[in-house]
Chain A
């Protein structure tokens, strides 16, 4: 995964957030999300506080709001589910815009919307400021079992192989007179999926053998450890965000 490889969502840039070691960012993101999820849903103000925190981090990381909003559309299915909840929910009902809705369902919808959106934004910020390679280094440093980081590293590496094979097979089909219109293309893809897998495997196998012959032992190569392990100061700096979030969550728990 050297230079030139596409990154999933990485936003190549330089900012204080980009410079933080990956393990610190992963830990901070997970802690922040847990604090958000632990917040009682009735504490509406707390979620406003979290949103401000996310906006601050985004500003420091120089991630554009438009990009964040566009990428957070992944949540759309949950949003649709959330809108169904007030109508499906049982128990006490109330009137809203002339419709009879469940109070519990209304809170549930808010719960799903607020916590889901904040979680998505937090992970997008992590993705935008951490390259996929650093992500694996970070997981490795967080004592994730080597077997898992190995599978994850191969997965990211082979995504490239897979995408490349899809492109080559498409070109091959086109050059043999295949009609590339949408539905036709889908059919060609469906019948070729087995061949695609096999081709990608055999290319991947060669990649793996090449790695072995260059001394791969299953460990992360030294060059990957570009950024040094996190210092106490960096842990402290990154822990400010989850610490504030935890404070907000604790206050909300006490107040409600």
Chain B
């Protein structure tokens, strides 16, 4: 059932609400394209592509929670925000969603605006705001970065899921009456679990990248290297 909160399929949300969110998503994407253009340099172009490919691959792995009926997958918004920044990050997630909708039918084409709003905009924005705040507060150590990545990923997943609940309340296919609270609860709890998995993978990935190539982590560029120790010149992940 979780898949649905992530990739909304045709017919779940009614037309007018989908159209409103399509306009919102289009405006936000236009802003991201405008701002992202300034950032996309030689280092960021392949990174953006790889982040998108990584998210694409990771979203294809669905893992069941409790029962077969409830399954979820990772989102990658926090990873994108950490590695390529909020603007290009949101574009990466949006590109993944668009290709999935066009080619796999994963998430309806008519619902693309809703999906982009939830995953690319809400997910990435929530993650990036937290990243900026946490990096300022937490010590500039690998542990601090790991905590930042974990928490921002966790929160971004739950925020994106709650975006779906809001949209469903605005224009769901069926008026659930009081059951909407139950839906919100189920979705929040299951996404908390997905968020933990997402947080672990995000933290592990970003930490490895930050240790070997701190120059590649967008969130750290303005703030200097994480680890004061120099990078080992031989061996290791390189």
Where the two chains meet, the residues of A that have a C-beta atom closer than 8 Å to any C-beta of B are 8-9, 26, 29-30, 33-34, 36-38, 41, 72, 74-75, 77-78, 80-81, 84-85, 88-91, 102, 104-105, 107-109, 111-116, 118-124, 126-127, 132, 135, 145, 147-148, 150-159, 161-163, 190-191, 193-195, 197-202, 204-205, 207-208, 212, 218
Interface size, B (range)? 35 or more
From known contacts A148-B91, A159-B57, A204-B46, infer whether A119 and B99 are also in contact, taking CB-CB under 8 Å: no
Query: Any chain A CB within 8 A of the CB of B141?
Result: no
Given A155-B99, A198-B213; A150-B208 close (CB under 8 Å): no
Considering the chains assembled together, what is the distance between the CA atoms of A45 and B102 in angstroms?
26
Q: Evaluate contact between B95 and A152: CB separation under 8 angstroms.
A: yes
B237 neighbours in A (Cβ, 8 Å): 194-195, 198-199
Question: Using a Cβ cutoff of 8 Å, how many contacts connect chains A and B?
Answer: 232
Chain B residues in 8 Å Cβ range of A151? 48-49, 52, 88, 91-92, 95
Report Cα–Cα, A159/B52, bound state, in Å.
9
> Could you tell me if A112 and B205 are in contact, using CB atoms closer than 8 angstroms?
no
A81→B1 contact, CB < 8 A: yes
Residue pair A204, B49 in contact (C-beta under 8 Å): yes
B9:A116 contact, CB within 8 angstroms:
yes
Given A155-B52, A197-B208, CB of A75 within 8 Å of CB of B9: yes
Whether A123 lies near B104 (C-beta < 8 A) is: yes
Give chain B nearest CB distance to A79 CB in angstroms. Answer: 9
In the assembled complex, the Cα of A164 lies from the Cα of B177 at a distance in Å of: 49
Closest Cβ neighbor of B94 among chain A residues: A148
Contact A154 B52 (CB under 8 A): yes
Q: List the B side residues contacting A158 at CB < 8 Å.
A: 46, 49-50, 52-53
Task: List B residues at the A interface (Cβ < 8 Å).
Answer: 1-4, 9-12, 15, 18, 29, 33, 36-37, 40, 42, 45-50, 52-54, 56-57, 69, 71, 88, 91-92, 94-96, 98-99, 101-106, 108-110, 172-179, 182-183, 200-201, 204-209, 212-213, 216, 237-238
With beta carbons under 8 angstroms apart, the residue of A84, A85, A200 that contacts B50 is A200
List A contacts of B45 (CB < 8 A). 150, 154, 208, 218
Contact A152 B109 (CB under 8 A): no
Q: Contact partner of A155 among B2, B96, B208, CB < 8 A?
A: B96
- Residues on the A chain within 8 Å of B88, using CB: 151
CB distance from B50 to the nearest CB of A (A): 5
A74 touches B106 (CB 8 A): yes
Are B174 and A89 neighbours in the complex by a CB distance under 8 Å? Answer: yes
Answer whether A80 and B105 are a contact pair too, CB < 8 Å, given A108-B174, A190-B201: no
